[in-house]
Chains A and B, each alone.
Chain A
Amino acid sequence: MMRSIPRKDRGSSPGKFWRRLLQYFVLSVFLLFIVVPIVMVVFGALKSRGEYATSPYTIPDPPRWENFVRILQGESIWLMLLNSLVVMVTTVIGVVFFASLAAFVFSRVRFRGQTLLLNVALLGLMFPLSIAILPTYLVVRELGLIDSLWGLILAQIAFGLATSILILRGFFTAVPSELQDAAYIDGCSSFGFFWRILLPLARPALSAVAVLAMLGSWNGYFFPLVVLNSEKLYTLPLGTMQYVGQYGSEENMVMAFLFLTMIPALILYVFAERQIVSGLTAGALKG
């Protein structure tokens, strides 16, 4: 059977063909592992309750788009979407702005105690928010910010700084110092150099940092879980759990809801894959 496949485009070595075949076979097995769970959600999302109960693994026939309409007509999903958006946008602005200010100092100015301060700033790498969750919760409580989006936002900014400072510092350091000297000679202030020259140059790094902070905020579950109590403040992950609790018996609706909440992150992934990848691999690439 296999031998009858035309021996074209295989290079000189016949072994290469079999190697490629094996390569694609192994990759396809893993591809199924990744894709099948999502396909199951899509199938379930587009089925009526009755069809899901009798044949959950088949292609929906006919596809029930009204499941999505039913969810989107409710008010709660829009409120969650809005909360998630507000939290995400504010967090990202804070993280990017404060981290780039700090990264500027850590990369372009030399002063006593710098290493110590840098290590303090990078503490967040050792203790991400989910590890330090209870201490952070208690302080947010002392500040009276429980059940407020601000409590969530401010803590997320604090814990987003470390990664961002690390990535931006790496990028800022690579900007030639001649630029800085020229700017200073031309009478530019430190802030002027930072704002008008360094930041525009650092756009790729800034967008990588921003996209990572977006993902972290958008997907956050543990911290919102402990900080937010009122349903009207729920972000999407909390709201998803709530929906599952309420409509658990209607599996098709749960699938539809899961699919809808996947979409924003997947859109971000499609458009910002390069930024995500470069941000995440920044540490592995250096050296």
Chain B
Amino acid sequence: MSAISGHEDTVGLQRKRGLSRRNQDRLTIVLFLLPAFIFIFTFQIYPMIRSVYYSLYEWSGFGPLTDYVGLANFERLFTGREFWDAVWHTALIMIWSLALQLPLALLLALLVERDLPGRGFFRSIFFMPYVLSEVIIGQVWIKMFKPDPQFGFINAVLEWFGNLPVIPQIETQAWLADPKQALACAFVALTWQFFGLHMLLYIAGLQNVPRELEEAARIDGANELQTIWNITLPLLGNAIRTSVYLSLLGSVQVFGVIWVMARGGPIGATETMSTYMYRSAFLKFSLGYGSAVAVVILVISLILSTVYQRVVGQHDYIGGI
């Protein structure tokens, strides 16, 4: 709030000072903005426009652009099964993120936040995987999911539990080698990477929830769950919206962890939109078709962001590093 009123002050004063500084201001605007906008234009805006152009050609990436094919690349894309499979896998990651990762992160934030001794320790550990590279994260989880219990820790645990009489035995699984499980395995690694980030967003949001409100609700006879549901969650609105947006956008762009763990396989089971684009453009050397995929991904992200901002009615975004 204070940031906003500070801004209004500046505006008012600048108007009063007005003309005398106008030319200097103009020069400042141009000189200060120029470097950033050269970068943004060269590496963001121009490439996007350019990729629309490339997408109208059949092009291996070698030699000049000669085979103009119109919208044939898009036709091939939308009528082929492969692309829709990739869209579906991306959508699954989105749905799982919203349904599993975020509630989990919220639960952790609620557990860690309330004046718990040692909460700093838990918070630091939970967030730690976020600073590791996707290559490390993918490799670490490949090891965890190795099918042979001799080397795959998860199957080893399942085997140990299987020897106990109390618990019903769960058989060891093929994990990444099984098309039905591979995407879920990659999602476990993604959760490992990201739920600390969402937990942090919620913890930051919780710091803005006045403790008095919660106490007042409890004095009025609300139990723990009612207080959280009716008081805490609505006040967490901003944090929840941000983490939903980051999850949606993050799901569209997810590449490294999945590529390192499964390369889109087995039999296309972990092919997402970005791995599909990478495969088409860089492994099958059809940069024209790959550009068509890229254009569709850009449009999907644009639609996501626009719809999100319409629904939420405000611009709040961060992250995306």
A residues in contact (CB < 8 Å) with B: 20, 23, 26-27, 30-31, 33-38, 40-41, 44, 56-57, 97-99, 101-102, 104-105, 107-111, 117, 120-128, 130-136, 138-140, 142-143, 154-155, 157-163, 165-167, 170, 173-177, 180-181, 184, 189-191, 194, 212-213, 215-216, 218-222, 226, 236-238, 240-241, 244, 251, 254-255, 258, 261-262, 265-266, 268-269, 273, 276-277, 280-287
Contacts and interface: CB of A to CB of B under 8 A. Distances in A.
10 contacts: A98-B35, A128-B253, A134-B281, A154-B43, A174-B2, A176-B9, A222-B255, A222-B274, A280-B318, A284-B242
Contact of A27 (B40, B122, B201, B293): B122
A105 B48 contact: no
Contacts, number: 311
A226 B204 contact: no
A257 B122 CA distance: 27
B139 A254 contact: yes
Interface in B123-152: 124-129, 131-136, 139-141, 143-144, 150-151
A133 B47 CA distance: 9
B15 to A, nearest CB: 8
Interface stretch (B81-89, B168-176, B297-305): B297-305
A221 B133 contact: yes
A15 B43 CA distance: 59
B139 A258 contact: yes
B216 to A, nearest CB: 18
A34 B126 contact: yes
B213 interface: no
Contact of B242 (A105, A189, A283): A283
Which of A37, A142, A143, A212 has the most chain B CB within a 10 Å cutoff? Answer: A37
Given A123-B44, A174-B3, A277-B200, A101 B135 contact: no
Nearest to A99: B36
A117 to B, nearest CB: 7
A280 B156 contact: no
B113 to A, nearest CB: 11
A57 B317 contact: no
Given A127-B48, A136-B43, A110 B14 contact: yes
B140 A41 contact: yes
B301 to A, nearest CB: 6
A251 B144 CA distance: 13
B64 interface: no
Contacts of A181: 13, 17
Nearest to A139: B47
A276 to B, nearest CB: 7
A277 B37 contact: no
B35 A131 contact: no
Given A107-B10, A139-B43, 19 more contacts: A33-B192, A99-B36, A109-B28, A120-B45, A128-B320, A131-B274, A133-B274, A139-B46, A140-B43, A194-B32, A212-B321, A219-B134, A237-B134, A262-B132, A265-B132, A269-B131, A280-B319, A281-B201, A281-B204
Contacts of B35: 97-98, 101-102
B294 A134 contact: yes
Contacts of A166: 317-318
Given A134-B281, A191-B28, A139 B36 contact: no
A107 B46 contact: no
B214 to A, nearest CB: 15
Nearest to A265: B131
A266 B321 contact: no
Contacts of A143: 42
B253 A262 contact: no
A284 B9 CA distance: 24
Contacts of B139: 240, 244, 254, 258
Interface in B1-28: 2-3, 6-7, 9-11, 13-15, 17, 21, 24-26, 28
Which of B2, B25, B131, B317 has the most chain A CB within a 10 Å cutoff? Answer: B131
Contacts of B50: 135, 138-139, 142
B267 to A, nearest CB: 22
Nearest to B204: A281
B125 A31 contact: yes
A199 to B, nearest CB: 13
Nearest to A236: B133
Contact of B14 (A109, A133, A194, A281): A109
B95 interface: no
B47 A136 contact: yes
Interface string B228-255: 0000000000110011000001001101
B192 A37 contact: yes
Which of A44, A102, A134, A219 has the most chain B CB within a 10 Å cutoff? Answer: A134
A44 B140 CA distance: 11
A154 B40 CA distance: 10
B44 A284 contact: no
A278 to B, nearest CB: 9
A126 B301 contact: yes
